[in-house]
Amino acid sequence: MNAAPVPARIRQVLDAPPGRRFSRPGATTPSAPGRQALTREQHLLTQDQLPPWTHLQAQRLATQPEPARPDRTDAAPVPRPRSAPDDGPPPARTPERPVRPRPPLPRRHPDRPRSHRKPAPRPGPVLMVAIHVLALGVGVLAAHLLFFL
C-alpha cells in the first residue's frame, strides 16, 4: 500500500457504521430519537396543504346525522343466568362407547414378495408337459404340410 493520505470524504465513509456508509437514492433520512415519522397525510395536515375535496367532505360529514345501524342496539348484552343452589345436581354424563380393537392384519404368505404386486402364478409340472406335447404336435403337422408342398 502506498502511504498517501486518505481524503476526508473517504475517511468519513470508512468511519461510518456498516449500515450508513453509503446513501441510498429515495431513502428517508433517519428521524431524530423520540420523534415518530409522520405519514404523508399527517404531514399535509400540519402544513395545511390538503386538497379541496377533503374540506368539502369534512363539511358534508359534519352536517349529516350519523345513520342508525339496525344491527347494533344500545342495550348491553344480557349475561347468562347462573345456576341456583336449588337447581339440583348437574345431569350425569353419558358413558362413552368402548373402543373396539382393530382386527389383526392377515399373515403374508412366505412365497409372496414384500413388494406391492402379487407375483404371477407359476405353471405346474402338468401344464408344462401339456405345453411341450402341444408344441411337438404343431411342429409335426407343420413338417408334414411343408413336405407335401
pLDDT (tens, 9 = 90+) of the chain, 149 residues, equals 566 777 887 888 788 887 777 766 656 555 554 455 567 767 777 777 777 888 788 888 888 877 666 666 666 777 877 777 777 777 788 888 888 898 888 777 777 666 667 777 888 999 999 999 999 999 999 998 888 77
Q: Which residues of 44-78 are buried (b: 16+ CB within 10 A; e: fewer)?
A: eeeeeeeeeeeeeeeeeeeeeeeeeeeeeeeeeee
Q: Residue 140: what pLDDT?
A: 92
How does pLDDT run across 43-76, given as a tens digit for each residue?
777 777 777 888 788 888 888 877 666 666 666 7
Q: Residue 139: what pLDDT?
A: 93
